[in-house]
Each structure stands twice: as C-alpha cells, then as structure tokens.
Structure 1
C-alpha cells in the first residue's frame, strides 16, 4: 500500500504531465541499504546516474520486468519521493558483456567498468544465493535500464 506522501507525489506528477490517474508507476529506491538509497538517489538528481542493472533471474516468473517507457518514483531512505524516472532503453545482457559505457551511466564510484564489476559481484551473488539458492556467475543475464528524470 502506498503511503499518503507517495500518493500525493504520484498524483502531482500525473497531473503535471497530463497523464491518466490510471497510469502505472513503479515505486522503489536504489540499492539495498538506506545509505545506498540516499547516495544513489542523489546521483540521479545530479544527472550522474542514468542507468541501473538488476539480476534477470531475480524477477519472479509473473513479475513485470523493466521495460522501455516504464515510469518509476524513486524514493530516498525515508520513503520520500525524490523524482520520477522513465526508462529510455532496456536490454538484457550477460553480466560479462556489460560495457564501459554501461558502467559509466550507472554513475557510481570512479565510473569504471572495474569498479562496476567489483560492486556488482559483491551484490548479485548474495541475492542469487539468498533468493534462488544458486551461485551467481558472470554468464548470468542482467537487465540494464537507461533512464531519464522526467519529474522532480
């Protein structure tokens, strides 16, 4: 259930952009800690983070996977909305095929592919083990989303 603050923000966004109140809008925060939610959210607002990746296999069979045109309200660590983003490109690729450009668009660390790989090899294996009880390998597919901020 959406809290009142998020509901009001969503309605303000939909009204300001002349969208139907029935428009589907995802709600999430980046990362898996409060610190990461704030840090990564700040990078989005600064225009440094325009991409993100998730483990393809971590989506339930009946769960909607990210898609081009998808709208999402980004939350901070206090579950307060900070912006709305829209996916402008979505691709499914093997982890080991992520490029320097993908890494740069994620906007984290020193923006290098090496940093991206290290950070995500700390992240994905944990979730694959916890949620799927399988070992993550660099051949596993990820969903890479490129997005733009459409509302603040």
Structure 2
C-alpha cells in the first residue's frame, strides 16, 4: 500500500469534512486478488455494492481486529492500492450464515 497516497487522500477528505478530524480510518481492498479488488472497488464507487460480509471464525482464527465498528471510515483501494473512495460502516450484524436474508445477499 502506498501509505503516502492514502494519507494524502484522507487529508483531502478532511479538507472537505473538517469535523471528521480525529476519526479512525483504515485503507483496504475488497476481494482476494487485484483483479477482484478492481471489480469490487468499481461497484462500490458506482453505488452498486453497498454491503459486505465475512466469516467471524476467520477473524478469530487469524487474530484479525474485531468486526468493523459503526462510523469507521474505510478508504477503498483498487487492485494497485490506489484510493478510490471513502465509505462508512453504518451497520454491523453478526448472525449465522443460514440467517442471511435475501435483502442482504441480493444481486443488483
């Protein structure tokens, strides 16, 4: 990841939204390859992809940070780790896979 570019992107965001100063943020790609990061990132920018999910056991097994907290800003990166946009976590729901409803999992 180009940390300098990510920080520059965040600072440009703060110039528009100065009240966000001091908020937490992260930068990450969606997907498990650069090709998928490009595809998913473009869907996010277009407003088509508006939700995501992951397996809680995977977070625990890999000792990754806890699930996203409300209000967290994420700088979405493309397949080459360039910033595309900033999104905000507005809901976190933990439920068994068999309880994921069609509204959440629908395709555009």
TM-score range, shorter chain: 0.7 to 0.9
* Count of residues in correspondence between the two structures: 105
- Which residue of structure 1 aligns with residue 47 of structure 2? 47
Q: CA deviation at 1:62?
A: 6.9
- Which residue of structure 2 aligns with residue 29 of structure 1? 29
TM-score, length of structure 1 as denominator length? 0.63
1:67 equivalent among 58, 66, 69: 69
- Which residue of structure 1 aligns with residue 78 of structure 2? 76
Q: CA RMSD in A?
A: 1.8
Residue ranges of structure 2 left out of the alignment (5+ in a row): none
- Which residue of structure 2 aligns with residue 123 of structure 1? none
TM-score, length of structure 2 as denominator length? 0.87
Q: Which has the higher strand share?
A: 1
Q: CA deviation at 1:53?
A: 0.3
Q: Is 2:41–2:76's contact at 8 Å kept on the other side of the alignment?
A: yes
- Superposed CA deviations along residues 66-86 of structure 1, whole A, max 9, x for unmatched, are 122111000000100000000
Consecutive aligned runs of 4 or more in structure 1 exceeding 4 Å deviation: none
Residue ranges of structure 1 left out of the alignment (5+ in a row): 105-110, 113-152
Q: CA deviation at 1:2?
A: 5.6
